[in-house]
A = this chain, B = another copy of it.
């Protein structure tokens, strides 16, 4: 039995790790596939870290937590929602259930016949990636929000500095990139 957990993990935070732990500790202890979505994106405010960096931070956090039975797979976006589930089925080994908070993900997998589980909302607002990115960008501490291994890795790759330079999105009408 195998579960699928799709996210962008910008960055991988404690809420993500708690979900992985809960799945592995649950009944029948399914193997877990963590699919890193928008894998082709990086160096934007929404997606500051490359898929490879996100892969590394997840691998370190899982190792630190002693969690095994978890596979990490970067998944580039496909622009067509109607094909998305079929696309994932083609890229990933077979899976049986899907974990997601996201209404669109839930809708698409349900229509394809999958069982979708909504993980308990572990202080979701607090752990939202956008909040963590905003804290990083203004130099605030995030050690309560991400696993220690991720905090260390973010220092290693100077993640806060990257976010500070990418900056938050400006108001509409003002393009973010001068290119």
A120: Cβ under 8 A from any B Cβ: no
Known: A42-B90, A165-B107. A72 touches B74 (CB 8 A): no
The docked-state distance in angstroms from the alpha carbon of A82 to that of B49 is: 9
Q: Return the CB mask of A76-112 against B: 1 if under 8 Å, else 0.
A: 1001111100110111111000001111111110000
A123: Cβ under 8 A from any B Cβ: no
A86 and chain B: residue at smallest CB distance: B86
Contact A168 B173 (CB under 8 A): yes
The docked-state distance in angstroms from the alpha carbon of A43 to that of B73 is: 22
Known: A41-B80, A46-B175, A83-B87. A94 touches B168 (CB 8 A): no
- Give the contact-size bracket for chain A: 35 or more
Quick check: which of A17-25, A50-58, A142-150 contacts chain B, the rest being far away?
A50-58
* A105 proximity list for chain B (CB < 8 A): 177-179
The residues in A between 159 and 173 inclusive whose CB is less than 8 angstroms from any CB of B are 162, 165-169, 171-173
Known: A37-B179, A82-B50, A179-B7. A43 touches B169 (CB 8 A): no
